[in-house]
Structure 1
Amino acid sequence: MNYGAYGRLIQHCTDQRFFRLGKQLHARLVLSSVAPDNFLGSKLIALYSKSGSLRDAYNVFDSISHKNIFSWNALFISYTLHNMHADMLKLFSSLVNVNSTDVKPDKFTVTCVLKALASLFTNSILAKEVHCFVLRRGLESDIFVVNALITFYSRCDELALARIMFDRTPERDIVSWNAMVAGYSQGGFYEDCKELFKAMLGSGEPKPNALTAVSVLQACAHSNDLIFGMEVHKFVNESGIEMDVSLFNAVIGLYAKCGSLDYARELFEGMPEKDEVTYGSMISGYMVHGFVNQAMDLFRELERPALSTWNAVISGLVQNNQQDGVVDIFRAMQLHGCRPNTVTLASVLPIFSHFSTLKGGKEIHAYAVRNAYDGNIYVATAIIDSYAKSGYLQGARQVFDQLKRRSLIIWTAIISAYAAHGDANATLSLFYEMLTNGIRPDPVTFTSVLVACAHSGELDEAWKIFNVLLPEFGIQPLVEHYACMVGVLSRAGKLSDAVEFISKMPIEPTAKVWGALLNGASVAGDVELGKYVFDRLLDIEPENTGNYIIMANLYSQFGRWKEADNVRDLMKEVGLKKIPGNSWIETREGLQSFVARDTSNDRTPEIYGTLEGLVGLMKEEGLIQQHEIDDDCGSV
C-alpha cells in the first residue's frame, strides 16, 4: 500500500472538491482492511471537513490507533472552521487528559483553542491564563498564536493588553493589523482605530485589505466621520480591493449613517448581491435621519427579516420617538422566532426610560444577565441610562461598579447619570477618576460635567474645565460647552459676565446659548435682559413654545400682566400651541399615564384635589413660587 500516493490523491480530491471520489478512495482503504495512519487520517479528516461531514471526520480520527499532534490538529481545525467551538474545547480537554509526552499541543493547537475561547467567552482572566500557557510552551513568538491572543484580548475589552502584544510583535502580518484595527473598532475606540489605520498606511507593508477597510469604515460610521470615511472609500477604489458584500455594506453604512442617503441608496440599488446587513444599513440610515416611512417600506420588502434587520427597525423607531411602534415590532420579532440579542436590548431599554418604568428595565437587565449580555458595553450603557432616567441611580451605579472593563462610553454614561440628577460632587469625582484611569474624555463627557457644574453653581470648577482641560485634551469647545458656561454664570447670578462671555464667543451663539441666558434671566428676575434674549430667540427659533412660556411667566412674576398676555397672543398668532405635559407612574396595576388638564379619568376631582393640597404644602415650605406654576395646572 502506497500511503504517499493515496495521501496525494485524497488531497487532490479535497482541493478540487471531488468529495465523492475522495470517499470512494476511503472506501477502498476500508475494504482492504487498511486502518489509516496519522498521515492518511489527517488527509481524510480534511476531506470530510471540507465536505461538511464532521461525523465522518471524527470517525476517521477515532480509527487512528496511535494519534500524533497532526491528527489532533486536523480535527481541531475542522471544528474551528465549522464554528463548533464547544466541541473543539471538549476535544482539547481530551488531549490534555491523555497526558502523553509524545503528543504535546503546538502553535496550531493553541491557535484553535484561542479562537474557540474568543468566540465563546469574554473573560479576561481566562485570556491571561491561556497567555501564561503560551509562555510556558514557548509559543509567544509565533505569529499565529500572537494574532489569536490579540483577538482574544480585544474580545475581552483588554485593548491595552492587546496593543502591548501588537507592539511587541517584530514582524506583524496582515492578520495582526486587522486583529488590532478590528479590536479598536468593535470596542468603541474609534479614534484609535483610525490612527492605527494611518500608521498601517505609513508602514508600507502589509497593505490594508478588505477586512481592514470594513473595520475602519465601521469606526467612521459610528463616529460620524464622513470625511475620513470617504478617504478610506477612495483608498479602496484606488487600491483595487474587491468590493465584496461585507465591504459594500460597510460603505453603504458609512454614507447612510452620515446623511448621504441618496448616494447610499444609489450604491444599494447597484449592488449585484444584497444580504440582511445591506438592508439593515440602509434602514438604519433612513431611521437616523427621520425618514421612517422609507425605512419601513424597505423593511416590508423582506419576507423573512433576520435579527439584524429587526434590530435596525427597533433602534430606528426608538430614535424617532415612536415608542408604541417599538413595542409592536419587539413582539412581532419574537413571534417570528428571533431571540433578542445585545443590539436588541440596547435599543429597547430606552423605551422603559421614556415611560419611567423601572420594572421593565429590571426585567431586561435580568434577561441580559441570564444570557451573559450584561458585560456588553452597549447593553451596560443602556441599562445605566435606563436606571438613571427611571430615578434608580443606585442601580445604575451598581451596574457600573460591577463592570470589569470600562470604556469611555461606560464612563460617560455614569457621569451623565449623576449630572442629570444634579449631583456635582459625584459627577466630578467620577470624571477625575476616569482621567486617573487613563481614559481620554470626549466632547460629550465634558458636556455632562459642565451640566453638573451648572446645576450646582460650581463656577471655579467649570472655568477650570473650560479653560484648562478642554485645551489639554485637544478639544475645540462646542456650542454645547458655551451654553453650559452661560448656564453656570447665569445660575451664579453673574448675568453681566454671561452676556460678555456670549459677546466674545468665536462662533455664532445658537438657540442653546441664548436659551441658557433666558433661563438665567428668568431665575434672577431680570425682565429687561429676558426681553432682550427673547427677541434674539424669536429670530432663531420662533416655533419653540418654551421660550414664550418662560417670557410670559417672567412678566407675570412682576405683575406685568398685559405684556404677559401679549407674549401669549404672539404665540397664538404664530400658530403655536403648548403641548400638554404628561407623565407616567408605575403602579401594581401597570403604567398609569397623566396628561395636564385631562378630565377623562373618573377620579379627576380626587386627583386635582390631592394635587392642590400638595402644591399648597410646597408653597408653605417655600419650595415653589406662584410664577413657577405652569398654566397646565389649571386652577392651582
Structure 2
Amino acid sequence: MRMRLRAVKGKEEEIVVVASTAVITAYAAQGRMLAAREVLVGLLAIGIGVDAASWIAMIAGYAQNAQMEKAAELFGIMPPGKRNVVTWTAMISGYVRCGSAAASSALRLFYQMPVQQPNHVTFAALLPACQHLETLQGIHEQILRRGFQSNLFVCNGLVHMYAKLGAIGVARQVFDKMAERNVVSWTAMVASYARVDLREALRLFWRIPQPNVASWNAIIGGCMHHGFIAEALLLFHRMPRRNGVSWNIMIVGYAERGKTEEALKLPEQMPTTDTTVAVVSWNSVIAGFADKGEEEEALRVFRVMQRERESVMMKPNSKTFTLVLPLYGKRASLK
C-alpha cells in the first residue's frame, strides 16, 4: 500500500519523518526499492526536511539489494552534513557485498571518509575488500592507530584475510594477541592451517571451547585434502550436527580419490532434508575433474549417477547435464 503524505508542521512533521523512515526500511527489507524511493521523494516533495535516518535507510536499502549505482547516486546528492559513519559504512558494505569487482570502489570510498569518522564496524566491513597483502597491511596500520586492534570482529576479519592472502604467520600473530576469541576466531585459524599444516590445525581444533559445524567442516576438509580419509570419517561420525557442507566434503573427498563406492554409501545416510546435497556434491566432483582435464573420470561419475538415478539423491539435474554435455562434445570431436 502506497503511503499518503500531506503538508505537516512541527511535531507532526517529526512523527511523519520517523514513520516514513520505518516504511522505507520495511520496503528495503522486502527488496521493494521503488516503493521505498517514492516515500523519500514524497517527503522531499511536500517540503519536509528529510533527516539523516531517512537517507541512511534508503542508501542502506539500495546497498543491501546490490543496487550500488542507485546507492551512489543518492549518496552523491545527500547533503554532506547528513552523512555520518553509518552512511559511509553502509556504502562500503554494499560495495564489498558486490564482490571482488567492486572492492576498489569500497577502498576508494573509505579513503574519502572524513578522518574522524571510521569506527570498528567500518573496518570490519572493509577488510574483505583488501585483495592484496599490501592493501591489507595498510588498513591494519590504520586499525592500530585508531585503537581498534582489541575489537573481536575486527580481529576476526584480520585473521581471516591474512590467512586468505597466504600470510598465515601474520594471521597467527593477530590470533595470539587477541584478548578475546570466539568460535569464529578459532575456526578461521583452524581453516587456515588445515591446508598447509594439518597437525597444527588439529591441535588448535581440539582447543576450541565449543566447536560449531563450521569448525568441524574445516578440520574434516583438511583431513580429506591431505588424504587422511579414515581420520576424516572418524571426525565426521563424531560431529554433533552436520549440514550440507559436511556431506559435500565427504562425498567429494571420496570421489576425488577414486573411492566412488564409499561415496555412494553416504547419500543413504543423509537426512531427508538434505536430499539435494548429494546431487550438488556429485556435480562438484564432475566439475572438479573437468577443470583438471580428467574428462574420463568426470564422465565415469556421471555414468554412476545415471545408473543410480532412481534414487532422488543421485538423479542428475540440469546442472549435471550442463557440465557433461561439453565433455561428450569434446570426445566426439576427437574421433
Q: TM-score, normalised by structure 1?
A: 0.40
- Preserved CA contact (<8 Å) 1:307 1:338: no
Q: What SS is found at the alignment partner of 2:240?
A: helix
Q: Does 1:348 pair with 2:118?
A: no
Q: Does 1:453 pair with 2:223?
A: yes
Q: Does 1:261 pair with 2:41?
A: no
Q: Which residue of 1 aligns with 2:255?
A: 490
Q: Does 1:509 pair with 2:269?
A: no
- Cα distance, 1:411 vs structure 2: 1.7
Say if 1:404 and 1:332 are closer, same or farther in 2 by CA, change over 3 A: closer
- Cα distance, 1:246 vs structure 2: 9.6
Q: What SS is found at the alignment partner of 2:59?
A: helix
- Preserved CA contact (<8 Å) 2:190 2:205: yes
Q: Which residue of 2 aligns with 1:290?
A: 66
Which letter does structure 2 place at the counterpart of 1:399?
V
- Preserved CA contact (<8 Å) 2:24 2:58: yes
Q: What whole-Å deviation, never above 9, does each CA across 1:551-588 have from its counterpart, x for those lacking one?
A: 74xx8xxxx9634769xxxxxxxxxxxxxxxxxxxxxx
Whole-angstrom CA distance in 2 between matches of 1:251 and 1:449: 45
Whole-angstrom CA distance in 2 between matches of 1:273 and 1:329: 26
- Matched ranges for 1:145-184 at <5 A: none
Q: Which residue of 2 aligns with 1:326?
A: 106
- Cα distance, 1:383 vs structure 2: 1.2
Q: Does 1:375 pair with 2:186?
A: no
- Cα distance, 1:389 vs structure 2: 1.7
- Preserved CA contact (<8 Å) 1:490 1:521: no
Q: Which residue of 1 aligns with 2:201?
A: 427
- Matched ranges for 1:21-60 at <5 A: none
Q: Does 1:466 pair with 2:236?
A: yes
Q: Does 1:539 pair with 2:302?
A: no
- Preserved CA contact (<8 Å) 1:518 1:533: no
- Cα distance, 1:432 vs structure 2: 1.5
Say if 1:314 and 1:504 are closer, same or farther in 2 by CA, change over 3 A: same
- Cα distance, 1:481 vs structure 2: 1.7
Q: What whole-Å deviation, never above 9, does each CA across 1:223-261 have from its counterpart, x for those lacking one?
A: xxxxxxxxxxxxxxxxxxxx99999989987985xx533
Q: What SS is found at the alignment partner of 1:509?
A: helix
The higher radius of gyration belongs to: 1
- Preserved CA contact (<8 Å) 1:318 1:350: yes
- Preserved CA contact (<8 Å) 1:454 1:491: no
Say if 1:275 and 1:514 are closer, same or farther in 2 by CA, change over 3 A: farther
Whole-angstrom CA distance in 2 between matches of 1:347 and 1:564: 49
Whole-angstrom CA distance in 1 between matches of 2:240 and 2:17: 41
Q: Which residue of 2 aligns with 1:409?
A: 184
- Cα distance, 1:296 vs structure 2: 3.0
Q: What SS is found at the alignment partner of 1:508?
A: helix
- Bigger CA drift: 382-391 or 338-347? 338-347
Which letter does structure 2 place at the counterpart of 1:293?
E
Structure 2 spans left out of the alignment, 5+ residues: 1-14, 307-314
Q: Does 1:299 pair with 2:68?
A: no
Residue in structure 2 matching 1:518, options 286, 298, 301: 286
- Cα distance, 1:320 vs structure 2: 0.2
What is the aligned-residue identity percentage? Answer: 24
Say if 1:300 and 1:561 are closer, same or farther in 2 by CA, change over 3 A: closer
Which letter does structure 2 place at the counterpart of 1:562?
R
- Cα distance, 1:317 vs structure 2: 0.4
Whole-angstrom CA distance in 2 between matches of 1:396 and 1:490: 32
- Preserved CA contact (<8 Å) 2:27 2:35: no
Say if 1:284 and 1:501 are closer, same or farther in 2 by CA, change over 3 A: farther
Structure 1 spans left out of the alignment, 5+ residues: 1-242, 472-476, 567-636
Which letter does structure 2 place at the counterpart of 1:485?
M
- Cα distance, 1:392 vs structure 2: 0.6
Whole-angstrom CA distance in 2 between matches of 1:274 and 1:470: 51
Whole-angstrom CA distance in 2 between matches of 1:450 and 1:247: 50
Q: What whole-Å deviation, never above 9, does each CA across 1:49-91 have from its counterpart, x for those lacking one?
A: xxxxxxxxxxxxxxxxxxxxxxxxxxxxxxxxxxxxxxxxxxx
- Cα distance, 1:265 vs structure 2: 6.3
- Preserved CA contact (<8 Å) 1:490 1:517: yes
Q: What SS is found at the alignment partner of 2:94?
A: helix
Which letter does structure 2 place at the counterpart of 1:368?
I
- Preserved CA contact (<8 Å) 1:381 1:409: yes
- Preserved CA contact (<8 Å) 2:60 2:90: yes
Larger RCO, structure (CA 8 Å, separation 6 or more): 2
Query: How many residues were matched structurally?
Result: 297
- Preserved CA contact (<8 Å) 1:249 1:277: yes
- Matched ranges for 1:513-592 at <5 A: 513-518=281-286, 526-532=297-303, 539-540=318-319, 547=323, 552=327, 562-563=331-332
Q: What whole-Å deviation, never above 9, does each CA across 1:172-193 have from its counterpart, x for those lacking one?
A: xxxxxxxxxxxxxxxxxxxxxx
Q: What whole-Å deviation, never above 9, does each CA across 1:380-430 have from its counterpart, x for those lacking one?
A: 1221122112211000001000002101222222223223x3433332322
- Matched ranges for 1:355-374 at <5 A: 357-374=132-149
Whole-angstrom CA distance in 2 between matches of 1:513 and 1:458: 19
Say if 1:521 and 1:368 are closer, same or farther in 2 by CA, change over 3 A: closer
Whole-angstrom CA distance in 2 between matches of 1:250 and 1:426: 49
- Preserved CA contact (<8 Å) 2:33 2:61: no
Whole-angstrom CA distance in 2 between matches of 1:244 and 1:467: 57
Superposition RMSD in Å: 4.0
Whole-angstrom CA distance in 2 between matches of 1:408 and 1:290: 29
- Preserved CA contact (<8 Å) 1:342 1:373: yes
